[in-house]
Homo-oligomer: A and B are copies of this chain.
Amino acid sequence: MVTISIAGGSGYTGGELLRILLDHPKINIKQATSQRFAGQPVGMVHPNLRGQTLPLFSKIDELESCDLLFIALPNGKSMALMPRFFEVAPRIIDLGADFRLNSAEVWQQWYGNQHQTPELIKQFIYALPELRREEIKKAKHITGPGCEAIVSILSLWPLIKHGVIEKENIIIDAKMGSSQAGSKATPASHHPERAGTVRSYLPTGHRHTAEIEQELTVNGKRPRVLISATAIEMVRGVLVTIHTFLKNDLSEKDIWKIYREEYGDEPFVRIIKRRQGLYRYPEPKILEGTNFCDIGFKKDRHSNRLVVIGAIDNLVKGTAGNAVQCLNLMLGFEETLSLKFPGLHPV
């Protein structure tokens, strides 16, 4: 058995890691830390796991050696602690933003303060299995993408790789659930204010822009990605409506082939484009709890626009599930281990 611990186990990502790993036949969970809840029952914070998981949260400075450490701390918190974490475990999966960007300067530009351990950045692999499977298999330290970045990159990658869309002005219109903002109550998350909302909380300036552009850079050509994020009535889930423009007059069949070529063997990417039924394009609702990224598209007859639609559960394929998929790769396990929940319908 492989032992893992979680630094930052009381947030929503930490809870999902604990849930997913419950089922994992080769993993032992050793500790989960929490600043707010150290010494208190894990099941009080994650009520779905009562009686099934670790009894109590630990303090972060009580972390003992383990085989792999997940880090699910708020952005900006892991960089200074990373040297310490390196002593705790030979393998690290950091789910925060601190090591996602290749460049400390770009980090500062988007996150506002100076990177504290820029010398460690190069040790981290951007943990998107569909793009970097072989690197992840060999990696010791990986950094999980942002949830909005994962679904956007996966939706766009085949089109960028095959060079079929214009790279200037790729517009990502993201619809977001409330859980992506974390487990801490704020005036904006107060139910009477947040319920039923359609709130343009980031019409411009979304930080995931940087990592999406970074990962979609091919042959040194960086695309320009323009995000608008709107908070809607939903707890889990992200749906991105991506407005792109085709360079040449491809048919929908051509585009289907491109996605098929890239993702035909992927266990967690599905192309959803149906003529019948209610669920003809991706929808986050039926992905709750699953590790799938569903992708669909529609060509506009009125122009050369290609609308690409991507959906995930932000806490699974968007963070914790994707991390466990990477863990499986890093440790040589079957890639889909403990990630087979098919989702619920209706829900």
Contact = CB atoms under 8 A, between A and B. Distances in A.
Interface size class of A (residues with CB under 8 A): 35 or more
Nearest to A279: B47
Given A185-B186, A204-B305, A303-B226, A342 B52 contact: yes
Of A224, A237, A277, A311, most buried by chain B (CB within 10 Å of CB) is A277
A211 interface: no
Contacts of A279: 47, 199
Nearest to A237: B198
B309 A239 contact: no
A288 B281 CA distance: 24
A241 interface: yes
Contacts of A299: 204
Nearest to A188: B278
Interface of chain A, main secondary structure: loop
B285 A198 contact: yes
A194 B50 CA distance: 19
A183 to B, nearest CB: 7
Contact of A198 (B44, B45, B195, B284): B284
A44 B277 CA distance: 5
Interface string A33-49: 00000001000111111
A193 interface: yes
Nearest to A210: B302
Nearest to A238: B198
A346 B235 contact: yes
Task: Count this chain's copies in the assembly.
Answer: 4
A346 B236 contact: yes
Contact of A195 (B178, B209, B341): B178
Contacts of A183: 190, 192, 346
Contact of A302 (B187, B224, B307): B224
A230 B234 contact: no
Contact of A185 (B51, B189, B243, B342): B189
B45 A236 contact: no
Contacts of A187: 185, 278
A270 to B, nearest CB: 7
A301 interface: yes
Contacts of A224: 302-303
A169 to B, nearest CB: 7
A132 interface: no
30 contacts: A12-B192, A15-B345, A19-B344, A40-B276, A44-B274, A47-B279, A49-B345, A171-B171, A171-B243, A173-B241, A175-B230, A178-B195, A183-B346, A186-B190, A188-B278, A193-B346, A194-B195, A196-B235, A196-B285, A199-B283, A200-B283, A204-B305, A205-B302, A209-B302, A224-B303, A226-B300, A230-B241, A233-B233, A236-B346, A341-B341
Interface of A: 12, 15, 19, 22-23, 40, 44-52, 169, 171, 173, 175, 177-179, 183-200, 203-205, 209, 224, 226, 228, 230, 232-237, 239, 241, 243, 245, 270, 272, 274, 276-286, 288-290, 296, 298-303, 305, 307, 309, 311, 340-347
Given A185-B187, A224-B303, 5 more contacts: A19-B345, A44-B277, A49-B342, A195-B233, A200-B281
